[in-house]
């Protein structure tokens, strides 16, 4: 999904990074759920991201041939797909692109702040920690979930971007990102 600009570097930059993402919205569950992975988002503080993609490789040697699991690593890791995901722009969310067709299908879009270890990509980023800042949609279920998470709701996507503009990655890192 992402091509990574900083796959082999670990620059330390203080601050948080704001982006956008979507969740499933289910009135039977207390938490918002990730769309692509089966995990819930906790109100307030999310634990550190975890890698669910341990891969195995076949190892051969004198008198030995077998399967060996690569050791676990902290998320997000370069050259892996682990971490909490967000995009720099609403236009990069497929849920946003198809919103007129799925408006009543159980999704909510919001803004998040990311911190800890972050891997930057061309259209978004993956982070070690991520917290919900605001939700954009109206209705009683969204209002209930926003109250659970202690975040405001905004009436439209335009209001979301206006009140919670994306972070300028170039300003945050102090230089333009490399084009991939």
Residue 179 lies in a domain: no
> Cα–Cα distance between 21 and 46 in angstroms, integer?
15
Residue 2 lies in a domain: no
The count of other CB atoms within 10 Å of the CB of residue 75 is 22
Query: According to the model, what pLDDT value does residue 169 have?
Result: 75
- Return the percentage of the chain with pLDDT > 90, whole number: 23
Task: Indicate the pTM of the whole model.
Answer: 0.77
Can you read off the two tokens belonging to residue 84? Answer: 């909490």
> Which element (helix H / strand E) includes 117?
strand 107-120
Residue 104 lies in a domain: yes
Residue 137 lies in a domain: yes
Query: According to the model, what pLDDT value does residue 46 have?
Result: 78
The count of other CB atoms within 10 Å of the CB of residue 24 is 17
> Which element (helix H / strand E) includes 146?
helix 140-149
Residue 1 lies in a domain: no
pLDDT single digits (tens) 6-56: 444 555 666 789 999 989 887 777 789 888 777 788 887 778 888 776 554
Residue 156 lies in a domain: yes
Residue 34 lies in a domain: yes
**What letter does residue 18 receive in the DSSP assignment?**
E
Residue 10 lies in a domain: no
- Which residues span the domain enclosing 139? 17-48+67-173
Can you read off the two tokens belonging to residue 106? Answer: 């159980």
> Cα–Cα distance between 104 and 110 in angstroms, integer?
16
Question: Is residue 84 within 8 Å of 115, Cβ to Cβ?
Answer: no
> Cα–Cα distance between 31 and 41 in angstroms, integer?
6
If you write DSSP's letter for every residue of 22-66 in order, what string do you get? EEE--TTSSSEEESSSS-EEPSS-PPPP------EEEEEETTEEE
If you write DSSP's letter for every residue of 84-101 in order, what string do you get? EEEESSGGG-HHHHTHHH
Sorted by sequence, the CB contacts under 8 Å of residue 42 that are 6+ apart come out as 31
Query: According to the model, what pLDDT value does residue 163 have?
Result: 95
Among the listed ranges 1-15, 83-97, 134-148, which one has the minimum average pLDDT value? 1-15
The number of distinct structural domains making up the chain is: 1
User: Tokens 């030995």 sit at which residue?
Assistant: 64
Q: What is the mean pLDDT of the chain?
A: 76
């Amino acid at each position: 999904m992402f091509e990574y600009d900083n796959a082999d570097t670990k620059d330390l930059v203080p601050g948080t990074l704001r982006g956008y993402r979507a969740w499933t919205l289910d009135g039977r569950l207390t938490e918002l759920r990730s769309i692509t992975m089966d995990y819930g988002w906790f109100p307030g503080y999310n634990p550190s991201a975890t890698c669910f993609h341990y891969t195995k490789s076949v190892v051969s040697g004198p008198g030995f041939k077998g399967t060996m699991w690569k050791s676990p690593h902290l998320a997000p890791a370069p050259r892996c797909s682990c971490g909490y995901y967000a995009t720099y722009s609403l236009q990069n969310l497929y849920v946003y692109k198809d919103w007129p067709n799925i408006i009543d299908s159980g999704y909510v879009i919001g803004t998040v702040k990311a911190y800890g270890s972050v891997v930057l990509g061309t259209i978004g980023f993956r982070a070690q920690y991520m917290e919900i800042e605001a939700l954009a949609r109206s209705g009683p279920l969204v209002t209930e979930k926003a109250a659970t998470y202690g975040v405001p709701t905004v009436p439209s996507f335009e209001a979301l971007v206006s009140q919670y503009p994306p972070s300028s990655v170039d300003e945050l890192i102090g230089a333009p990102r490399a084009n991939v």
